[in-house]
Amino acid sequence: MPAEAELVFDQIDRAQPLRDQIYAMIRSMILTGVLPPDGMLEEKAIATRLGVSRTPVREAVQKLSDEHLVKIRPQSSTRVANISHSQVHQAFIIRRALESETVAAAASNMTAKDETRLEGNYLQHRLALEREQYVEAIGFDDEFHRIIAGIADLPLLWQAIAIFKAQLDRCRHQTLPKEGYGDSTLMQHQAILDALKEHDEKLARKMMQSHLDQTYQGVRKFLDAESNTEKRTSRG
């Protein structure tokens, strides 16, 4: 894994809570694979790099531990958690259930302004994929779902989804560069948007579930391939 000194950290804004900023930085590195599974996290080195005390770093790492993204071994080491098939599956179940509710509620609340926001997001998402800017593309993908939760006036549900889907996101960043995955996501988003425009709660729910099911199928293929590779390596 890259040494902490080689990692790219954003500038710290000392007028804002340090823990939250450090948490967001490290979390992003874990989700995008910059910090790979089982990679070491050195709190002291990170604190030195950022020019802060170890306290906000320790607090950020503890929060990541609560989300099962890192494993803390007292008096030993802190490492990035391996991707757990069970946790990924549970995250999928939670996300599917919650987003089925947000999209159905959003269908009743849709306005012309909401349509414009989602259409603009779609165009930005497509452009990012065309430019092979995959991290940005996933960001626009997430924004699409967050906007829908906002239209539904269910922001707390999105906060819960954002926490749990981290386990899925670690896989999504590995699968998106594969040919066809991005295009299929755009088609699914368009189908959801069309249902929302029609204020069709039942269809919107169906399209959202289909979208999340297909995304999870790609994640499962990735996990199965990783497991097979590990088995071949251990036998060799």
One domain for residues 122 and 61: no
Average pLDDT, the chain: 90
One domain for residues 174 and 228: yes
CATH of the domain at 28: 1.10.10.10
Return the pLDDT at 216: 93
One domain for residues 113 and 136: yes
One domain for residues 129 and 200: yes
Tens digits of per-residue pLDDT, 112-164?
999 999 999 999 999 999 999 988 999 999 999 999 999 999 999 999 999 99
What average pLDDT does this structure show over 90-100? 96
Angstrom distance (rounded) from CA 157 to CA 146: 10
Write down the pTM of the prediction. 0.85
Comparing CA positions, the residue from 44, 81, 32 lying closest to residue 8 is: 32
One domain for residues 105 and 210: yes
One domain for residues 128 and 142: yes
Instruction: Give the count of domains, the chain.
Output: 2
Give the residue from 15, 45, 80 where a domain finishes. Answer: 80
One domain for residues 41 and 153: no
One domain for residues 76 and 100: no
One domain for residues 61 and 91: no
Return the pLDDT at 3: 47
What average pLDDT does this structure show over 165-180? 81
The gap between the terminal CA atoms of the chain, to the nearest Å, is 23
CATH of the domain at 201: 1.20.120.530
Domain of residue 108, residue span: 85-235
- For the beta carbon of residue 2, count every other beta carbon within 10 angstroms: 12
Q: Is the pLDDT of residue 88 over 90?
A: yes
One domain for residues 121 and 181: yes
230 versus 75: the higher-pLDDT residue is: 75
Return the pLDDT at 30: 93
Give the residue from 80, 107, 127 where a domain finishes. Answer: 80
One domain for residues 14 and 110: no
Give the residue from 26, 47, 80 where a domain finishes. Answer: 80
User: DSSP label at 146?
Assistant: H
Q: Which residues of 155-193 are buried (b: 16+ CB within 10 A; e: fewer)?
A: eebbeebeebbbbbbbbbbbbbeeeebbeebbebbebbb
One domain for residues 33 and 112: no
